[in-house]
A and B are shown apart, each in its own frame.
Chain A
Amino acid sequence: MNIHIAHGRVIDPANGLDACLDLYVSQGKVLALGQKPDGFRADRVIDATGKWVLPGLVDLCARLPAQAEQTHEALALEVRAALAGGLTTLVLTPNPEAGFDSPEKTLQMQQRLAGLTQARAYLLGAMTQGLQGDVVSKMGALAGAGCVAFSQGDQPLLDTRVLLQAMQYAKTFDYTLWLRAQDPWLSRNGVVASGAYGTRLGLTGVPVEAETIALQALFTLQRATGVSLHLCRLSSAEGLALMRAAKKEGMPVTCDVAASQVHLADVDIGYYDTHFRLDPPLRGQRDRDAIRQALVDGTVDAICSDHTLVDAQAKMRPFAQAQPGATGLELLLSLTLKWAQDARVPLPEALSRVTSQPGRLLAALSPAAAQAGELSLGSPADICIVDPEAYWFVEPSALVSQSKHTPFFGMELPGRVLITLVRGQIVWERPS
């Protein structure tokens, strides 16, 4: 199918491109920009006047329903939600139900996702068997089944020796480990950041040292093993300072932050609003400002959606007992644009944190992900077309995902995805 996207503002951070150009898609790839290629006949012309034409977003942390056969429809719905949010590439985090700790399970999930033929999904394999944290998994077999890196998901790893062994084994084959930096003992039972606000609410805090100690331990073992690390969802000013130093030292490390952490702080919890029960917990305004600064100065590579499936019942509990997490797929773009507006970050630079930068990070892990998050000539035509003028209210009816809970409920956010293409096919079109 040949598609002609006409008169749009094409913003491609990977190539430093920000111009009103026509874009031509053929055979699943970006065929041309600007001049119409000879003999090109469009099957469909999309008038993108006043709209933005962006590379499909790359999300480094999405949790999809993956456990059992009967969730096939649920899985399809979440993939649609991703596409509705302009996300065309997802990294799936392992969880205890769908551990991705056996090649069979991994292949099964790959097949199910392939059956959906839409968003591209990359799986993180379980770093330890069943994510239990005591036996290093069969990383080689898992990589053979398609896992691009290895992770503990949200599960804690108590045994430092196992961590060292996992790093040594991963380094043997140059696999990358994707890890959270949170000391399991200091964060035990913690539901808010330690600080004045958490103290007022009488809730157990996670001290900032939970993050810094974990980072120190990870960096120490990384120096010993040389393994590549990606650190997921850093949350504190002190943690980011350590990260900045590690990058300066030239260590092979990258990191991301969750989109909600770019905007919110612990005081936003208000009177025990469980929408704000997130993991890692929201920290102070100083930390939020440090996250924004670290995004600008390159300490943080990417913003992720941190998409979690939560239902009403799981949130309708006293704060500490409510399920942590929020829906995120359909908010990632808008929250990135809001950050660009609030912090006066140039648009291409802001967008690079959800397109080219996570794309490059992923491309380094898998040849299949080459050119993810960019619109170079010949790159896969994963594209989203955005109405920048459309402000939308975050409410359940505005979301495709079955997961409707978000701390941004009731807020008006900028930018709405109108059309999403994957491999040159229109896979999502917002009903008018």
Chain B
Amino acid sequence: MRNPQLNRQGALNHLLTTEGLPPRILNRLLDLAQHYLLDSAESVNVDASLSGRRVFSLFFEKSLSTRPSFETAAKRLSADVVRVQIENAVLKTGDDLVEIIRNLQAAPGDLLVLRHPQSGAPYLVTQTLAPYLHVINAGDGTHAHPTQALANVYAIRHFKNDLSNLTVAIVADVMHSREARSTIHALTSLGVAEVRVIGPLSLMPKGLEQMGVRVFTQMCDGLRDADVVIALPLQNERLPVSLRLSAQDYAEREGIKMETLAYAKSDCLLLQAELAGQTLRVGTLNWAEVGIAVRAAALSMVAEAQP
């Protein structure tokens, strides 16, 4: 089965997930992001790579940071950003997606940034609805959130240079976190020596080990000698009610504290969950700018590919 993200020449035609992306593409995305980040810092010349191209921004879920980040990135690349408004955020049947995409009357070469509450929704678009449209997944259900994963990996590469001898520990609700899954896939594809997941067993999906991660339930074990710690919220909006209290309990009992962090390496890099509306700085990195830069990289790279 051909990777649906790549065209016949092996170029990145859509960005749907980090799973199965060859390292050459992941590295190219990160290199491009670095280029855009330097550009923004120096605020030099206007980039016209997407001049005359339309970027549809279609979000079926609320997004406080991802959507503005994508739209800023698209504008910096001189694209025409079309923000598609969804009247009713609660979508029951899935027919709305089909209807809305058809109504876009997208032309070949247009780009679509899609967030949808259903896992796999962007695949439906690429396979059936508008196969010539370049699709970038801005988060689908509990499946993938590739650009956020790229931002995480970007930060790791920025501070740690060589990924191949790192131990990265991810504290997350992997069951419901698309960011966690996409980050895991990106890290394992790039040859990170050890990827760990830390969380309660009730939030560990079945078969997780087959993603190439080690599963830990106790924070002190999972953080031991870690080079990087990525802490994602244990309580996201997709967590079912039945798990809310226990997830809160786990966060209170096992959450990252100074004493548990002491188990990690002394030069450990800590990436905390992105806080909405706040300008975070990770070391010398402006986190919001990193997000825009990886999204600009994704947009420009898929736009280059022949459908």
Interface residues of chain A, those whose CB is within 8 Å of chain B, are 194-203, 205, 207, 270-272, 313, 316-322
A271, B4: Cβ atoms closer than 8 Å: yes
Q: Which residues of A contact B128 (CB under 8 A)?
A: 316
Cβ contact of A196, chosen from B4, B118, B210, cutoff 8 A: B210
Given A194-B206, A196-B207, 10 extra CB contacts under 8 A = A195-B206, A195-B207, A199-B205, A199-B206, A199-B208, A203-B120, A270-B1, A317-B124, A318-B94, A320-B141
Q: Give B181-236 interface residues, CB cut-off 8 Å to A.
A: 181, 205-208, 210-211
Q: Which residue of A lies closest to B116 (CB)?
A: A318
Shortest CB–CB separation between residue B138 and chain A, in angstroms?
14
Kindly state the separation between the CA atoms of A194 and B97 in the bound complex, as whole angstroms: 26
Q: Which residues of B contact A271 (CB under 8 A)?
A: 1, 4, 120, 123, 127
A196-B210, A271-B4 known; A202 vs B140 contact (CB < 8 Å): yes
Q: Can you give 14 contacting A-B residue pairs, CB < 8 Å?
A: A196-B208, A198-B205, A199-B206, A201-B120, A202-B142, A202-B178, A270-B1, A272-B119, A318-B94, A318-B118, A318-B124, A319-B118, A319-B120, A320-B118
Shortest CB–CB separation between residue B243 and chain A, in angstroms?
13
Q: Which residue of A lies closest to B175 (CB)?
A: A199
Shortest CB–CB separation between residue B140 and chain A, in angstroms?
7
Shortest CB–CB separation between residue A197 and chain B, in angstroms?
7
Q: Mark B122-152, 1 if CB is under 8 A from A, else 0.
A: 0110011000000000001111100000000
Residue B80 lies at the interface, judged by CB distance under 8 Å to chain A: no
Kindly state the separation between the CA atoms of A318 and B211 in the bound complex, as whole angstroms: 23
Shortest CB–CB separation between residue B278 and chain A, in angstroms?
27
Q: Which 5 residue pairs of A and B lie closest in terms of their CB atoms, listed nearest first? A: A196-B207, A202-B143, A321-B94, A317-B94, A272-B120
Q: Which residue of A lies closest to B118 (CB)?
A: A318
Interface centre among A201, A202, A271, A322 (most CB of B within 10 A): A202
Q: Which residue of B lies closest to A192 (CB)?
A: B119
Q: Which residues of A contact B140 (CB under 8 A)?
A: 202
Q: Which residue of A lies closest to B140 (CB)?
A: A202
Kindly state the separation between the CA atoms of A58 and B175 in the bound complex, as whole angstroms: 43
Q: Which residues of A contact B19 (CB under 8 A)?
A: 200
Q: Which residues of A contact B118 (CB under 8 A)?
A: 318-321
A198-B206, A202-B143 known; A322 vs B119 contact (CB < 8 Å): no
Residue B43 lies at the interface, judged by CB distance under 8 Å to chain A: no
Residue B82 lies at the interface, judged by CB distance under 8 Å to chain A: no
Size bracket, chain B contacts: 20 to 34
B178, A322: Cβ atoms closer than 8 Å: no
A317, B98: Cβ atoms closer than 8 Å: yes
Shortest CB–CB separation between residue A195 and chain B, in angstroms?
5
B4, A202: Cβ atoms closer than 8 Å: no
Q: Which residues of A contact B97 (CB under 8 A)?
A: 317-318
Interface centre among B1, B4, B205 (most CB of A within 10 A): B205
A202-B142, A272-B124 known; A317 vs B95 contact (CB < 8 Å): yes
Shortest CB–CB separation between residue A432 and chain B, in angstroms?
35
Kindly state the separation between the CA atoms of A271 and B17 in the bound complex, as whole angstroms: 11
Shortest CB–CB separation between residue A405 and chain B, in angstroms?
13
Kindly state the separation between the CA atoms of A308 and B207 in the bound complex, as whole angstroms: 30
Q: Which residues of B contact A195 (CB under 8 A)?
A: 206-207
Q: Which residue of A lies closest to B174 (CB)?
A: A199
Q: Which residue of A lies closest to B240 (CB)?
A: A189
B144, A202: Cβ atoms closer than 8 Å: yes
Shortest CB–CB separation between residue A344 and chain B, in angstroms?
27
A199, B124: Cβ atoms closer than 8 Å: no
Q: Which residues of B contact A321 (CB under 8 A)?
A: 93-94, 118
Kindly state the separation between the CA atoms of A351 and B19 in the bound complex, as whole angstroms: 42
Q: Which residues of B contact A205 (CB under 8 A)?
A: 205-206
Q: Give B101-130 interface residues, CB cut-off 8 Å to A.
A: 116, 118-121, 123-124, 127-128
Q: Which residues of B contact A197 (CB under 8 A)?
A: 207
Kindly state the separation between the CA atoms of A201 and B120 in the bound complex, as whole angstroms: 7
Kindly state the separation between the CA atoms of A272 and B19 in the bound complex, as whole angstroms: 14
Shortest CB–CB separation between residue A224 and chain B, in angstroms?
31
Kindly state the separation between the CA atoms of A272 and B120 in the bound complex, as whole angstroms: 6
A199-B211, A205-B206 known; A272 vs B93 contact (CB < 8 Å): no
Shortest CB–CB separation between residue B192 and chain A, in angstroms?
18
Kindly state the separation between the CA atoms of A200 and B180 in the bound complex, as whole angstroms: 12
Shortest CB–CB separation between residue B102 and chain A, in angstroms?
11
B120, A316: Cβ atoms closer than 8 Å: no
Shortest CB–CB separation between residue B221 and chain A, in angstroms?
22
Kindly state the separation between the CA atoms of A194 and B210 in the bound complex, as whole angstroms: 13
A196, B206: Cβ atoms closer than 8 Å: yes
Shortest CB–CB separation between residue B51 and chain A, in angstroms?
32
Q: Which residues of A contact B127 (CB under 8 A)?
A: 271
A316, B208: Cβ atoms closer than 8 Å: no
Kindly state the separation between the CA atoms of A321 and B118 in the bound complex, as whole angstroms: 8
Q: Which residue of A lies closest to B207 (CB)?
A: A196
Kindly state the separation between the CA atoms of A201 and B185 in the bound complex, as whole angstroms: 12
Kindly state the separation between the CA atoms of A196 and B174 in the bound complex, as whole angstroms: 13
Shortest CB–CB separation between residue B30 and chain A, in angstroms?
23
Q: Which residue of A lies closest to B91 (CB)?
A: A321
A320, B119: Cβ atoms closer than 8 Å: yes
Kindly state the separation between the CA atoms of A317 and B121 in the bound complex, as whole angstroms: 8
Q: Which residue of B lies closest to A194 (CB)?
A: B206
Kindly state the separation between the CA atoms of A30 and B210 in the bound complex, as whole angstroms: 57
